[in-house]
């Protein structure tokens, strides 16, 4: 099924969404992109990477190997390139990579060129994750210029081969123009991440690997002859925006060709009911050109009523996308303001380039919150133990398991849904104002619970009286008839328990007062009496 609608916040552009059918045994849903992709990490090991930067890179690459159990290649370079390493050899060695010497991009580009020539008959796509923290020793020298020309020459002869992609991770004092040149040098454009702190390198590598393992490329041809190329990580839906001049009123069909070169035809019809989630998904694909464009997007964002949907999970998704767009537009405004300066810092250009790819990493949540320092201290061995619990502990609302919950956010916990009776006395006298009515079988994260309760509150428009809220202000549990208006955190492992203790004031405050800021010391005593 393929549907489209004209987006109200752009000239003549249309949003087209193609949904795959999912019959039993469908190859579409079982497709694993990473099995057809060779990933090569190219890591800068010059002297400026010594210490925390190279340690963080080594830690995340070891973690990636431990998670995937795939022996991806690892090219390291300074003034020379070592192409003999793999993620497995790095995982098995005790020490980190040695960082010393200067930086020669010519040597790594020559190594990449040689690799492509040696594997020119490969049926797999090649993805290079190119990481650097500096500039070439001779940025205008003949060696670098020649190496780029030779690499481009080899790539020009690979247009009909599986795609070659360069994803770029910049760190510290790097050059925006050069890194964007690297990002676009392949037969398929890559993505860009930038950070100024070494600890962010781990998130950047994880983001890039997740994308590289799941990316699929689709060629889409409309019945009017127009063609589009869409990169996608969703195995169920492909969505994109048309150009300003495309009129779809006479277009009734499209053909989608996947990266297996298998064509499939879809009828194309106007979408009869455009929901808030549709508008947000379309808006999420727009990258602003200047500050005025940002203001226009923010204006349109404010017109979208995310509470209109009757589907709870759709509302939660809409709220998440809304927040991401709003945050991203604020960052755009700040950067565009700085671009008005006479001498624009290179850092601003780098941040703007990276921000243009942020929407693509929407599934990778920004790591922030009050537990960031603690989260960073969890060892890889401990993460592995938590991962072993993932099948047993899953949030029924978001479908995130305990490992994903603790990885994605430093201030989210997994809880058991309960149903309580709250009296007004709960605010002034916590030991007497709360009564446990029932336990449920529902495992739910604190974030999912708060989001669901906010939706319930908006639905009911309650006046704040606890007696009314007991009956109306609640959400459905796993089993039929279960109602939840409070949660109790679960002991799952020691690290999760540490979170619970640090966040105690937040979840206790909400339990007693329906306000995360309503904490009182007496609530701890009241909790013992409640249970």
Rg over alpha carbons for the chain, rounded to the nearest Å, is 26
Can 1-21+215-274 and 38-214 be said to share one CATH topology? no
28's CB contacts (< 8 A; 6+ apart) are 20, 22, 235, 236
* CB burial of residue 174 (10 Å; 0-12, 13-18, 19+): buried
Nearest Cα neighbor of 208 from 34, 36, 83 is: 34
Q: Spell out the per-residue pLDDT of the chain, length 531, in tens.
A: 899 888 876 667 899 999 876 443 333 333 444 557 899 999 999 999 999 899 989 988 988 888 778 899 999 999 999 999 999 999 999 899 999 999 999 999 999 999 999 998 888 899 999 999 888 888 889 999 999 999 999 999 988 888 999 999 999 888 899 999 999 999 999 999 998 888 788 888 888 888 888 788 899 999 988 999 988 877 678 899 998 777 888 899 999 998 778 899 999 999 999 999 899 999 999 899 999 999 999 999 999 988 766 665 577 678 878 888 999 999 999 999 998 877 778 889 999 999 998 888 764 343 233 345 456 567 778 888 999 999 999 999 888 999 988 887 777 899 999 998 887 776 677 777 788 888 999 999 998 998 888 777 665 544 444 444 445 567 777 776 788 888 999 999 999 998 888 788 788 888 888 776 567 777 877 787 776
**Crossing angle of helices 504-513 and 522-530, rounded to 10°:** 70
The predicted pLDDT at position 260 comes to 76
Structural class in CATH, domain 1-21+215-274: mainly beta
Nearest Cα neighbor of 204 from 334, 41, 338, 35 is: 41
The predicted pLDDT at position 426 comes to 67
The predicted pLDDT at position 25 comes to 36
Domains of the chain, residue spans? 1-21+215-274, 38-214, 276-365, 379-530
CATH number of 38-214: 3.40.50.410
The predicted pLDDT at position 309 comes to 66
The predicted pLDDT at position 22 comes to 47
Q: What gap in Å lies between CA 145 and CA 443, rounded to an integer?
A: 58
């Amino acid at each position: 099924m393929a549907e489209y609608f004209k987006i109200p916040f752009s000239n003549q552009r249309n949003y087209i969404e193609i949904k795959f059918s999912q019959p039993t045994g469908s190859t579409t849903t079982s497709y694993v992109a990473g099995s057809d992709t060779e990933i090569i990490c190219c890591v800068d090991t010059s002297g400026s990477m010594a210490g925390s930067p190279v340690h963080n890179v080594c830690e995340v690459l070891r973690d990636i190997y431990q998670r995937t159990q795939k022996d991806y290649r690892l090219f390291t370079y300074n003034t020379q390139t070592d192409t003999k390493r793999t993620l497995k050899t790095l995982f098995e060695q005790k020490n980190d990579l040695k960082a010393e010497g200067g930086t020669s991009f010519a040597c790594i580009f020559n190594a990449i060129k040689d690799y492509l020539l040696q594997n020119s008959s490969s049926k797999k796509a090649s993805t290079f994750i190119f990481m650097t923290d500096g500039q070439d020793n001779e940025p205008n020298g003949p060696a670098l210029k020649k190496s780029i020309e030779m690499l481009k020459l080899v790539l020009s002869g690979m247009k009909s081969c599986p795609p070659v992609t360069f994803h770029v991770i910049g760190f510290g004092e790097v050059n925006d123009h050069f890194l964007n040149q690297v990002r676009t040098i392949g037969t398929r454009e890559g993505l860009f991440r930038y950070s100024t702190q070494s600890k962010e390198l781990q998130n950047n590598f994880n983001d890039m690997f997740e994308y590289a393992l799941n990316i699929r490329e689709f060629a889409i041809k409309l019945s009017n002859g127009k063609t589009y190329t869409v990169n996608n990580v969703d195995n169920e839906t492909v969505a994109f925006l048309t150009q300003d001049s495309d009129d779809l009123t006479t277009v009734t069909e499209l053909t989608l060709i996947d990266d297996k070169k298998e064509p499939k035809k879809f009828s194309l019809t106007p979408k009869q009911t455009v929901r808030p989630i549709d508008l947000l998904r379309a808006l999420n694909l727009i990258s602003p050109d200047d500050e005025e464009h940002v203001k226009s997007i923010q204006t349109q964002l404010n017109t979208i009523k995310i509470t209109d949907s009757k589907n709870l999970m759709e509302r939660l998704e809409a709220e998440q996308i809304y927040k991401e767009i709003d945050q991203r537009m604020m960052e755009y405004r700040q950067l565009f303001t700085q671009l008005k300066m006479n001498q624009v810092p290179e850092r601003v250009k780098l941040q703007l380039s990276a921000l243009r790819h942020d929407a693509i990493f929407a599934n990778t949540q920004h790591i922030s919150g009050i537990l960031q320092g603690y989260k960073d201290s969890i060892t890889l061995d401990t993460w592995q133990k938590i991962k072993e619990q993932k099948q047993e502990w899953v949030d029924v609302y978001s479908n995130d398991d305990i490992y994903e919950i603790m990885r994605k956010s430093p201030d989210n916990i997994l809880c058991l849904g309960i149903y309580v009776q709250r009296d007004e006395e709960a605010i002034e006298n916590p030991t007497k104002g709360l009564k446990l009515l029932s336990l449920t079988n529902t495992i739910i994260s604190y974030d999912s619970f708060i989001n669901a309760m906010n939706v319930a509150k908006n639905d009911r428009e309650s006046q704040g009286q606890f007696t009314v809220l007991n009956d109306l202000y609640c959400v459905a549990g796993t089993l039929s008839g279960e109602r939840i208006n409070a949660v109790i955190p679960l002991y799952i492992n020691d690290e999760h328990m540490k979170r619970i203790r640090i966040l105690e004031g937040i979840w206790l405050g909400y339990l007693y007062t329906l306000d995360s800021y309503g904490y009182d010391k007496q609530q701890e005593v009241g909790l013992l009496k409640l249970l």
